[in-house]
Amino acid sequence: MNKTTDQPEIICAIDASTNSLAFAFYKSKKISDYGKINFDGENIYEKVIDATQKVRSFFKIYNKTKAVVIEHTVFMNSPKTAADLAMVQGAIIGGVGLANINTIGRVSPITWQSFLGNKKLTKEEQLKIRSVNPNKSISWYKAYERDFRKRRTIKLLEVIYDKQIEDYDVADAAGIGHWAINNWHKAVKFDKE
C-alpha cells in the first residue's frame, strides 16, 4: 500500500485533549466503533505517560487499524494549554507508532468542520443568538456558540451515518473521520515544514 494514495479499509479518527482521546473507527467508509479513553495523572507529565501506554494497548487490541487521522493542534488563547495538548498528541502518536501503525494523517478543526457542513457561525446567526439571549457577557456568547456548533456536529453525523453520538469529543472524532475518508490524499499529505 502506498500510504499517501491508497486509503486503508480501517481508519481511526482521533480528537485529543489533555485529558482524553476520543476515537471513531471507520471500516469501509462507515463508522464501526467509537468511544473515549480517559488519561490518568496528577499533572501533564503523568497524563502523557498514561496516554502513551493506553494508546499502545488500545491499538494492540484494535490491531486491524492501518491508519490514524488526528485533529491538528491549533494555538488557543493559552500557551500552556497549547503546549500541554502538543505533548499529549505527541504521546498519542508515539503510542500509535509503538502499535506498528505508521500511516498518520492530520486535519485542522475548521477544515473538517466546514467539510461536514458546520462552518463558523454567520453574523446573522450570532445576532440572532444575541437577540434571543440579551445582556449576556461575551464569554457567555462564545460558550453558547461553541455548544451550538457541537450540537450541530452531532445532528449532521446522525443524518449522514444514522448514529446517535452524544459525547461532543467523540462526535468531533467522527467528524474528523468523515473528512478523512472523503479527503484521504489531503489527510496524509504533508508539506515540507
Domain that holds residue 171: 10-118+164-187
Asked whether residue 59 is assigned to any structural domain, the reply reads yes
Each residue of 92-106: pLDDT tens digit? Answer: 999 999 999 999 999
Each residue of 27-43: pLDDT tens digit? Answer: 999 999 999 999 999 99
Domain count, the chain: 1
pLDDT at 140: 96
Confidence class for position 192, pLDDT limits 50, 70, 90: very low
Each residue of 125-182: pLDDT tens digit? Answer: 999 999 999 999 999 999 999 999 999 999 999 999 999 999 999 999 999 999 999 9
What is the domain-level CATH number for residue 47? Answer: 3.30.420.10
Cα distance between residue 168 and residue 91, in whole Å: 22
| Assigned C-alpha cell, 113 | 468542520
Instruction: Kindly tell me the sign of the dihedral angle through the C-alpha atoms of 86, 91, 97, 99.
Output: negative
Average pLDDT over residues 5-21: 93
Asked whether residue 157 is assigned to any structural domain, the reply reads no
Asked whether residue 192 is assigned to any structural domain, the reply reads no
Asked whether residue 145 is assigned to any structural domain, the reply reads no
Amino acid at 93: I
Nearest to 13 by CA among 92, 98, 120: 92
Asked whether residue 129 is assigned to any structural domain, the reply reads no
**Interior CA angle at 120 toward 115 and 125, to 5°?**
125
Asked whether residue 57 is assigned to any structural domain, the reply reads yes
Asked whether residue 79 is assigned to any structural domain, the reply reads yes
- pLDDT at 75 > cutoff 70: no
- pLDDT at 109 > cutoff 80: yes
- Cβ(190)–Cβ(3) below 8 Å: no
Out of 9-13, 60-64, 111-115, least confident range? 60-64
Asked whether residue 42 is assigned to any structural domain, the reply reads yes
- pLDDT at 24 > cutoff 50: yes
